[in-house]
Amino acid sequence: MTAGAPVDLAALVAAARAARAAAYAPYSNFPVGAAVATSDGRLFAGANVENASYGATVCAERVAVFAAVAAGARRLAAVAVVTDGGGTPCGICRQVLAEFGPPDLVVALARESGGWETTT
């Protein structure tokens, strides 16, 4: 994929689905996987990591974005989030996505059981 090329949402959702398997969610029992596509075509995935000190918990979306930023990426092209029922990013994650994505960032909300919907 080159900068500005369409994002392969199926591949992005698959990466998020695979990341969900690594989630550490012993308190909520709500594993989440996420993957971001950067504007230069790279994919980064993340899973939620909970902690007994709730404020130390990190959402899957932020793990994926932070991995991308740590690798030098600064612009996102799309994000996929996989939950049991197709949940949406929380407010903190939305702020992080807004920091690194365009106003019309594509967000694929996928269900673990299959399928997804897109929004911005």
- Active-site positions read 61
Question: Could you give the CA distance from residue 87 to residue 55 in angstroms, rounded to a whole number?
Answer: 20
Question: Could you give the CA distance from residue 79 to residue 66 in angstroms, rounded to a whole number?
Answer: 13
Strand partners, 90: none
44 secondary structure, DSSP code: E
Question: Could you give the CA distance from residue 49 to residue 80 in angstroms, rounded to a whole number?
Answer: 17
The enclosing H or E element of 37 equals strand 33-38
